[in-house]
Amino acid sequence: MRPKSALFYIDDLSELMDHFIAKVESLLDDDRKIKDLARPLHEFALDAIGIMFIGSKLHVLQGSEYGKLVIDKVIKAFEMFLTVQGLPKSIAPYIPQYKEFVKITEEVYLMSKEKIFEAIKKHEVDGSLEGTVLEKMIERCGKDSPLPVVMANDALFAGIDTTGNTAAFILYHLATNPDKQEILYQEILKVVGSDGKMTEEALAEMRYLKACQQESARIAPVALGTARSAGQDMVLSGHQIPKGTFVIRMGVLMSNDERYFNNPEQFMPERWMRGCPQHQKPKNPHANIPFGHGPRACVGQRFAKLELYMAVFKVIQKYKISYDGPVLGIDYLGLGSLNGPLNLKFEKRV
Ligand code: HEM
């Protein structure tokens, strides 16, 4: 999952964002406001994973049945995950919520498997998987290995409301911080102009765009933390932790703690930019790790970031976005999501 492999999809994602914008336009009311942007963002995220991982256009933004069902089931599964994740293995199979969780994840697996097999069959005729993660996995593991299908299914499962909710937060933060939105727009104008395309070179220059993503995910990491089983006896913050204990790192507390970030409640992308007066040297390299850390860190990080950069770039290049509803925060029903509808106003810039 080297950075290059994600950048390969810049043009596809750019085209997908054109569909996203067409969808948003179709949902705007007379005041150019949308009721809730969350759903179209989930649809964009699933379509993007379809393209990057299984070389398939799933037409989720266009209302495909597969998309509707999978998005609902995945959201439900993540909600249940908080309840079932800590259950001891010996009793889990007898707990109704666990049984339902297993049922939902199986249903998603079966639906996605069908799409993945279709993609593999098509590839045998027209080579359409060329360059995709699925093709690389098949080359590496062999065509009879179950791993490529499991990996593609994991990606279709894990890449929906993670990226969708994260995108919703960035757009909310930009809509409620118009001065920061303007700085980002000026960066876009400087690098590609008012109707230029995103390219690998342009992305390399868009430091403020990346800082906005990092800052938004610091304030509102959609994964509230990460979990591990202690591999050995250890002491954490003075507590004795026996081997095998289930330990959760509450990342959201650390990334919003003023011991690590000045004025943590402020959306300040500049804190991530060397050379800016507000730049802050990291006081702890692990204080903001929204994609986790180490060998089990998020495998989709590069892909998710590219999706987020593309989504924010396209929206801000075309629209001035604003929000005048109640202040929104993060709720962790499963994954973190905005605790109210994201009814943004989209004013065309040119
Ligand atoms: C903004 C979007 C995303 C966020 C914030 C996110 C966050 C995370 C986090 C915190 C973990 C656990 C890491 C750890 O325990 O150290 C994780 C794992 C994982 N993520 Fe993501 N993720 C995102 C998008 C994606 C996407 C698009 C995919 C699709 C490929 C994906 C696939 C996975 C998989 C398969 C794992 C399990 C890795 C393992 O256990 O080895 N994620 N993600």
Does 290 sit in the ligand 1 pocket, CB within 6 Å? Answer: yes
Q: Give per-residue pLDDT as tens, 52-81.
A: 989 889 999 999 999 999 999 999 999 998
Q: Give per-residue pLDDT as tens, 177-229.
A: 999 999 999 999 999 999 999 999 999 999 999 999 999 999 999 999 999 99
At 128, phi and psi to the nearest 5? Answer: -70, -10
Mean of the per-residue pLDDT values of the chain: 94
**Which domains does the chain carry?**
3-223+255-348 (1.10.630.10), 224-254 (no CATH)
Residue 304 CA to ligand 1 center (angstroms) comes to 9
pLDDT of residue 5: 64
When pLDDT is averaged across residues 15-42 and rounded to a whole number, the result is 97
Q: Which atom in ligand 1 lies closest to the alpha carbon of residue 227?
A: 15
Distance CA 50, CA 254 (A): 33
Residue 341 contacts by C-beta under 8 Å, 6 or more apart in sequence? 35, 36, 38, 325
Q: Give per-residue pLDDT as tens, 104-137.
A: 999 999 999 999 999 999 998 988 888 888 898 8
Q: Give per-residue pLDDT as tens, 227-259.
A: 999 999 999 989 999 999 989 999 999 999 999
Does 158 sit in the ligand 1 pocket, CB within 6 Å? Answer: yes
Nearest CA to ligand 1 atom 40: 296
The radius of gyration of the chain from alpha carbons, rounded to an integer in Å, stands at 21
When pLDDT is averaged across residues 306-335 and rounded to a whole number, the result is 96
Does 304 sit in the ligand 1 pocket, CB within 6 Å? Answer: yes
Residue 187 contacts by C-beta under 8 Å, 6 or more apart in sequence? 206, 207, 208, 209
Does the structure show a pLDDT above 60 at 3? no
Task: Give the residue among 264, 283, 279, 274 at the shortest CA–CA distance from 218.
Answer: 264
Mutate which of 291, 302, 305, 335 for ligand 1 pocket (most atoms within 8 A of beta carbon) = 291
Q: Which atom in ligand 1 lies closest to the alpha carbon of residue 293?
A: 16
Does 303 sit in the ligand 1 pocket, CB within 6 Å? Answer: yes
- Going by the DSSP 8-state scheme, the letter that residue 33 receives in this structure is B
When pLDDT is averaged across residues 269-283 and rounded to a whole number, the result is 94
DSSP notation for 260-278 = TSSSTTS--GGGGSTTSTT
The tokens 């009311």 sit on which residue? Answer: 29
- The reported pTM is 0.95
- Going by the DSSP 8-state scheme, the letter that residue 310 receives in this structure is H
Residue 289 CA to ligand 1 center (angstroms) comes to 11
pLDDT of residue 86: 79
Q: Give per-residue pLDDT as tens, 283-314.
A: 999 999 999 999 999 999 999 999 999 999 99
pLDDT of residue 344: 98
> Is the model more confident about 138 or about 3?
138
pLDDT of residue 144: 87
